[in-house]
Amino acid sequence: MLSHIKLIYATKSRKLVGKKIVLAIPGSIAAVECVKLARELIRHGAEVHAVMSESAQKIIHPYAMEFATGNPVVTEITGFIEHVELAGDHENKADLVLVCPATANTIGKIACGIDDTPVTTVVTTSFAHTPIMIAPAMHSSMYEHPIVRENIEKLKKLGVEFIGPRFEEGKAKVASIDEIVYRVIRKLHPKSLKGKRVLVTAGATREYIDPIRYITNASSGRMGVAMAEEADFRGADVTLIRTKGSVPSFVENQIEVETVEEMLEAIENELKAKKYDVVVLAAAVSDFRVKNKAGEKIKSGGSLTLELEPTPKIIDRVKELQPEVFLVGFKAETSEEKLVEEARKQIERAGSDLVVANTLKAFGSEENEVLLVTREGVKKLPRMDKRELAERLWDEIERLIE
């Protein structure tokens, strides 16, 4: 591995370690994103090989992709039969062919089984045995062409997955690098939660004082989103109830709420409608709400006294509605001494099967240091990134629900 690749290799996660990805680049102007995309895939541990069409080589020079991937770039098919080497069905074959940014032309050729460019030849070679993902990029008028639509539908039916596009400024723009990387990880991840239905809450609730002011807390939603996305990678059917203002997520099935009442209603609706296997309550829910919320903006000047009343305890409702569900609660306390005591109370009162207990230092931070409390005992985990912690927590949950 080249030294400049080593510097970025698996620095963000190890999700794609051991995965060989062929990045097949057609001639869309969005090819300028491919340097960053390749390097982001490497930051998650992937080995990336670029293949470029002739048109792509007019938009970015192959040197840029050599630099980005640390591997030779295929710009033509020669006597070394590069298409078979990269995408043939042999022990060293690619794990994924990612066509990005896909032109209308290349999509059309793939849909018709034509291969007259390095990109289309690699796709034809891999079609029968390697997953193919396509991220289109073109003007809206091209994207709306009935034959282009037909080609996309035909390829979807044949098992090809499409990522994006995003519709902006009259264009069907290529999906963001973050979304492409997310979808690639989800595609290639081991599916240890396949067949499981998972409900996750994330973020800080808001309790309104008047129509524009509210009481909230410092939770960013990062931990809950990391839990939902990790379950999504592992193949679970995930519903994420996310509060307004939380960090965004690529989980497809999301419900946005603001107040404790809205969150409770969303959870109750879900638990009444579907049978869940695991419920993870990672949201930081307000314990109080304003008793007499003002209907109009409260005038400034003078002092103001608010009377607060307790909010309903969401966690207590979960096992009432689904006694069989595996319930994961989060508990935050100012001092570590109180944590275990309060976690045990939650196990007794709400029937939590696992309590993830942390001090308030985790709020708004990228990292967390937690105690795992169950009926059996307490386990302390070292301080780590919330994404890594989500992996550890799901390993633990999978072990416990087996």
Region of 53-61, 222-230, 292-300, 308-316 interacting with ligand FMN (CB under 6 A): 53-61
Amino acid at 369: E
For 62-70, the CB contacts below 8 A with 24+ separation are 64/34, 64/35, 65/23, 65/25, 65/34, 65/35, 65/38, 67/4, 67/35, 68/34, 68/35, 68/36, 68/38, 68/39, 69/5, 69/23, 69/38, 69/42, 70/1, 70/2, 70/4, 70/5, 70/42
Which of 26, 70, 221, 329 lies at the binding interface for ligand FMN (CB under 6 A)? 26
Cβ–Cβ under 8 Å, residues 336 and 361: no
Q: How far is the CB of 89 from ligand FMN (least distance, A)?
A: 24
Q: How many positions of this chain bind ligand FMN (CB under 6 A)?
A: 17
Q: Which of 60, 280 has the CB closer to ligand FMN?
A: 60
Q: Does 151 bind ligand FMN (CB under 6 A)?
A: no
Q: Are strands 132-136 and 96-102 parallel, antiparallel or unpaired?
A: parallel
Q: Which of 104, 257 has the CB closer to ligand FMN?
A: 104
Q: Does 53 bind ligand FMN (CB under 6 A)?
A: yes
Q: Does 142 bind ligand FMN (CB under 6 A)?
A: yes
Region of 25-33, 294-302, 350-358, 379-387 interacting with ligand FMN (CB under 6 A): 25-33
Which of 56, 64, 266, 339 lies at the binding interface for ligand FMN (CB under 6 A)? 56
Beta bridge partners of 200: 240, 280
d(CA 42, CA 44) in angstroms, rounded, equals 5
Burial (0-12, 13-18, 19+ Cβ within 10 Å), 89: exposed
Burial (0-12, 13-18, 19+ Cβ within 10 Å), 272: exposed
Q: Which of 97, 104 has the CB closer to ligand FMN?
A: 104
Q: Does 152 bind ligand FMN (CB under 6 A)?
A: no
Q: Does 70 bind ligand FMN (CB under 6 A)?
A: no
Q: Does 97 bind ligand FMN (CB under 6 A)?
A: no
d(CA 333, CA 385) in angstroms, rounded, equals 20
Q: Which of 118, 221 has the CB closer to ligand FMN?
A: 118
Q: How far is the CB of 120 from ligand FMN (least distance, A)?
A: 7
Region of 23-31, 81-89, 187-195, 228-236 interacting with ligand FMN (CB under 6 A): 23-31
Q: Which of 28, 286 has the CB closer to ligand FMN?
A: 28
What sign for the dihedral angle of Cα 157, 158, 162, 165? negative
**Number of neighbours of residue 274 by Cβ within 10 angstroms:** 12
Q: Does 138 bind ligand FMN (CB under 6 A)?
A: yes
Region of 77-85, 136-144, 248-256, 348-356 interacting with ligand FMN (CB under 6 A): 136-144
Q: Does 164 bind ligand FMN (CB under 6 A)?
A: no
Q: Does 104 bind ligand FMN (CB under 6 A)?
A: yes
Q: Does 103 bind ligand FMN (CB under 6 A)?
A: yes
